[in-house]
Amino acid sequence: MSESAFFGWLRSRLRRLTIYWKPIQEIKKAAKIPYKGPNKRRKFSYVCSKCSNAVGEKECNVHHVVPAGSLKSFADLSGFCERLFVEKEELILLCHKCHDLEHEKLEKDGK
């Protein structure tokens, strides 16, 4: 495994661990509403903080207001973890569409 592949793998695993981070669970819980549509299997929807659309759990993301950044070396590890595991004031719930637009804006701004 190359160094680049290793740090990509590590970044991916750390991001997966955030689903157990309590502030992320609190953000999702705050955005959760009962589902009132035709799909009998779906019990809840989540309200996007930006467009206020109600979406399913698989159609939403918890977005970091301050991007976690890159992880390309062990020197980046501490800062990456500090920005990844933040308190709920630095997180918002977005639908996939708004999340993609937010990241496009960040890329355009060069961050």
* pLDDT attached to residue 107: 85
CA angle 102, 106, 108 (to 5 degrees): 115
CA 104: distance to chain centroid? Answer: 15
**In the chain, how many domains are there?**
1
* pLDDT attached to residue 7: 95
Average pLDDT rounded to a whole number, residues 21-27:
94
Question: Which has the closest alpha carbon to 61: 17, 30, 96, 32?
Answer: 96
pLDDT at 111 over 60: no
Name the residue range of residue 78's domain: 3-109
pLDDT tens, position by position, 27-78:
999 999 999 889 999 999 999 999 999 999 999 999 999 999 889 999 999 9
Task: Provide the mean pLDDT of the chain.
Answer: 93
pLDDT at 20 over 70: yes
pLDDT at 3 over 90: yes
